[in-house]
A and B are shown apart, each in its own frame.
Chain A
Amino acid sequence: MRVPGFVRSRIIAPSDPAAAEVSSKVLKQIYPIIDKIVSWLRAFQLFIKLQQLLQNLLINILAAGPVPQHISFIMDGNRRFAKKMNMPVKRGHEAGGVTLLSLCYVLKKMGVRCVSAYAFSIENFNRPPEEVNALTNMFAVKLDEFARKANDYRDPLYQSRLKIVGDHSLISEEMREKIKRVEEMTNDGDEFTLFICFPYTSRNDIWHATQTSVEECVQQSLEPRALTVEEFNKKMYLNDYSHKCDLLIRTSGHLRLSDYMLWQVHESGDIKFSPTLWPDFKFFQLYLMILNWSFFTTIQRYIFHGSKKSQSKPAFWNRKKSSKYSLEDLPAAPVAVSITGERDPS
C-alpha cells in the first residue's frame, strides 16, 4: 500500500520551515513579555531570595541520588546569541563565560567531581584574527577571576582546581606563563576540577597520547607490547578523567561532536543535544538533563545489581533458606521394592 504523494511529501520533510517560522513568531512575541515580568519581579529582594532557596533545595534533592562524576560542555552559540541580541561578538563570548561560571557553582554544589568545557578549538584559529585576539584576552581575564575565586574562602568555588588542557605549543609564551601561574595557584583543591580545553581537539589529544607513549617507551626502554588501553588513557590531557565522561552536553542544536571528547564519550557517555544557545542555557535545562541521567542510572544500577546482589536487603528479609539442603541432609527414603519382588540390598 502506498500513501498518496501529496500526503507523503508533506510529512516527509522533517520540519517545515514555514510552520517553524510561525511558531517562532508567536514565541518571539511571548518571550519579551515573560522577560519583562521576570525582570520586574527581580526588582524585589524577596523574589531573588525565594529563587535561591528553591534552587538550593532542588540541588540538595538531586544530590541525594546518583550524580554524574564528569560533565562536559560544548559551549556553542555565543556568536549567534550576540547577533540575536544585536551586541558585538565579544559580548556574546562574555555572556557565555558567565553562564559557565554560574553552572559550575551549581554543579559543584551537587557533588559533581569534574566539569570540562570546550573553550577554543584548534580549528578556531581560522577565525578572523581580531576575534581570536579578543577571545584570548577575555580568556586571560577570566582565568585571573577564577583563580581569585578559588582562593577566596567566602566564594562557593573555594578549593576547586583549574586545569587548562590542550596543545599549548600553539599559544603565546606570555599566555603559557599565565596558565602555569594560575594552575599553581589552584593546585591544592581536590574536591572539584574544572578543565578548560584551550586550543584543544580530540584528535590532537589522541595523537599527543600516542606520541608520549612512544617517547616513554624509547626513553625508559619499556616493552612496547605491554602497553594497555588503561595506560594509554592516563597519558591523555584529562589524565584521571580520561576514561569516561558521563554526560556531554552540546548546545545550539548541531548533532555532531566537532572533534571534542571523542575518546572519552564513545564508549559509555550519555550525549545530550540542546537547541538553546549557550548563554541562554540556564539552571533549569541543566537540571532536567541531570535528573534524566540520574533517573535512568538508578534503574540501570538496580537492574544490574539486582540480579546478583541480595545481601543489601535487610536481615528480616532473608527468610530461612528452607529449600537449600544438600542431598545428604535429607531423611532417608523408604525401602524401594519392585513388583518382581526385587529389593535393594541393604
Chain B
Amino acid sequence: MSSEKIAENARLLGGEDVDVSNNRVPPPEASVLKGPSRLKALQAVAHSVAFDEDQNIKTPKNNAFWNQEMGRIQYFICKILLVGMYLVFGSFRYLQYEYNAMKLRVWNVIYNPSNTPQLIRQDVTKLDKIPHRLAAILEMKSAGSVGGGAKGLMNDGSEVVCWTVSAGIKHLILYDFDGILKKNVLEFREEIRAKLSKYFGPSNVPKFALRIPHKNKVYFSNDDSDKVSLEISLLSNRDGRQTIVDLTKTMAELTKSKELKAEDITMRLMDKELTQLVGPEPDLLLYFGPSLDLQGFPPWHLRLTEFHWEQDNNQVAYSIFIRGLHKYSNCKINVGK
C-alpha cells in the first residue's frame, strides 16, 4: 500500500467537508485582551460578587475528615476578598497593558521597514541562523474595525509574505481559523503580487506558489512553475484534529478491506501521511495576538516548534516578525536532553 494512496483516500474522505465546529472557547486571557474594555471587566467583577454563574463550582471539599467544607459565611467573606484581589490585580494588569502598548508603539517606530527589502535583509544577515520553515497565525478582526474583515486579513497575510521573502526564508505556513485565505486564494494571490511589486518594483516580482494541502492544489504566481522563491501553505482549523480523525478513518477502512496491516500503522507512517496531508512541521510559529492562543493549529506539527508572540500586542507588525527571528537564532535545540 503506497503512502500516497492513503493520503489520497483521506483527502477524498475529508472532501465531504465536515463543518468545523465553531464553538471553540479560546483561552481566557487571549480572548479578553483582543478587545479590552475596562468597563466590561469592572462589570464582570462586580457581577461575580452577587451571582454565582457557575452553580457547579464547589467549595473545596477536600478531605471532609479534616477540613470541613466551607461554611456560607466563610464562603461569602472569601468571595468579597476575591473581588478585592481581582480589583488589585486588574488595575495592575491595566497598567502593565498600557506600558506594553507604549513599548510596542516605540518598537514599531524603530523597526519600521518602510517597504524596503534591503533593510529587512540587513537585519537578517546579522543572525546566526534563520528558521527553515516559518508559520504565522493570522486572525480576522471584526469587519467594523480598522484593518478588519477579509480584506484586512489578506493585507496582513501579504505583508507577512513580503517580509518572509525579503528575509530569505523559503517556506511559509499561514494559518487562519476559518480558512478565509483558502477560500479566496485567487484574490489573495493578486493581493500578494501587488504587495510584492511595491517592495521589489513591478518588473521583478519574486515568484511564489500558494499551496492548499487539504485540497492538494497549487497556485503559481506565474504560468511557469520553475524556481519559486517562496512556497506558502494555507492551513485552517480543518487541518487540525479533523484531519487526524479522517486519516484514522481511512486507515480503519483499509485495514478492514485487508489492504493495510494493523502492524504497519507506525509513528513513521502517520508522520509521512500527515506531512502529505498538511505539510512539514514549522520551526518557528509567530502569533500576532496579545497572549498565546494556538487556535487549533495542527497538533501533530507543533511538536518542537518555537513560539513567539509579544504580550498585549494586537497587530501584525514587522517588529514582532524580526524579534521572533532574533529569538530563534539564539535558542538552543536539544531533543530529549
Give me 6 A-to-B residue pairs in the complex whose CB atoms sit less than 8 angstroms apart, sorted by A's number: A65-B82, A214-B255, A227-B249, A255-B306, A302-B53, A303-B32
For window 249-301 of A, CB contacts with B under 8 Å fall at: 254-259, 262-263, 265-271, 291-293, 295-301
B240 neighbours in A (Cβ, 8 Å): 266-267
B145 within 8 A of A: no
| Stretch in contact with the other chain, from A11-19, A24-32, A174-182, A328-336 | A11-19
A97 within 8 A of B: no
B299 neighbours in A (Cβ, 8 Å): 202, 206, 262-263, 266
Q: Is the CB of A7 within 8 A of B32?
A: no
Complex alpha-carbon distance, A305 and B47, angstroms: 11
Q: Is the CB of A229 within 8 A of B27?
A: no
For B247, give its contact among A13, A210, A257, A258 (CB under 8 Å): A210
Q: Is the CB of A60 within 8 A of B303?
A: no
Q: Is the CB of A295 within 8 A of B86?
A: yes
B65 neighbours in A (Cβ, 8 Å): 153, 158
Q: Is the CB of A217 within 8 A of B28?
A: no
Complex alpha-carbon distance, A158 and B62, angstroms: 9
A110 neighbours in B (Cβ, 8 Å): 60
Complex alpha-carbon distance, A213 and B255, angstroms: 11
Q: Is the CB of A207 within 8 A of B267?
A: yes
For window 78-101 of B, CB contacts with A under 8 Å fall at: 78-79, 81-82, 85-86, 89-90, 93
Q: Is the interface of B mostly helix, strand, loop or mixed?
A: helix
B28 neighbours in A (Cβ, 8 Å): 270, 293, 296-297, 299-300
B217 within 8 A of A: no
Question: How many positions in chain B have a CB within 8 Å of any CB in the partner chain?
Answer: 96
- Of chain A, the residue at the smallest CB distance from B116 is A2
Q: Is the CB of B247 within 8 A of A259?
A: no
| Stretch in contact with the other chain, from B38-46, B164-172, B190-198, B226-234 | B38-46
| Stretch in contact with the other chain, from A38-46, A82-90, A120-128, A337-345 | A120-128
For window 202-226 of A, CB contacts with B under 8 Å fall at: 202-204, 206-207, 209-211, 213-215, 217-218, 221, 224-225
Besides A12-B111, A60-B74, A259-B304, 18 more A-B contacts (Cβ < 8 Å) are: A14-B323, A66-B54, A125-B336, A154-B66, A215-B262, A224-B249, A224-B252, A224-B256, A232-B241, A258-B304, A262-B300, A267-B294, A269-B27, A296-B28, A298-B48, A298-B86, A299-B45, A303-B44
For B245, give its contact among A13, A67, A227, A293 (CB under 8 Å): A227
B73 within 8 A of A: no
A22 within 8 A of B: no
A3 within 8 A of B: yes
Q: Is the CB of A292 within 8 A of B323?
A: no
For A312, give its contact among B51, B253, B308 (CB under 8 Å): B51
A122 neighbours in B (Cβ, 8 Å): 336
Q: Which 8 A-B pairs have the closest CB atoms?
A: A123-B336, A302-B44, A296-B28, A224-B252, A270-B27, A217-B252, A262-B299, A64-B78
B146 within 8 A of A: no
A123 neighbours in B (Cβ, 8 Å): 335-336
Complex alpha-carbon distance, A203 and B302, angstroms: 10
Complex alpha-carbon distance, A67 and B85, angstroms: 15
Q: Is the CB of A203 within 8 A of B300?
A: yes
A11 neighbours in B (Cβ, 8 Å): 107, 110
B58 neighbours in A (Cβ, 8 Å): 111
A109 within 8 A of B: yes
For window 22-50 of B, CB contacts with A under 8 Å fall at: 24-33, 40-41, 43-45, 47-48
B271 neighbours in A (Cβ, 8 Å): 203
A228 within 8 A of B: yes
A70 neighbours in B (Cβ, 8 Å): none
Q: Is the CB of B82 within 8 A of A66?
A: no
A72 within 8 A of B: no
Complex alpha-carbon distance, A125 and B27, angstroms: 33
B109 within 8 A of A: yes
Minimal beta-carbon separation of A306 from chain B (angstroms): 8
0/1 per residue, B281-323, Cβ < 8 Å to A? 0000000000110111111101111111000000000000011
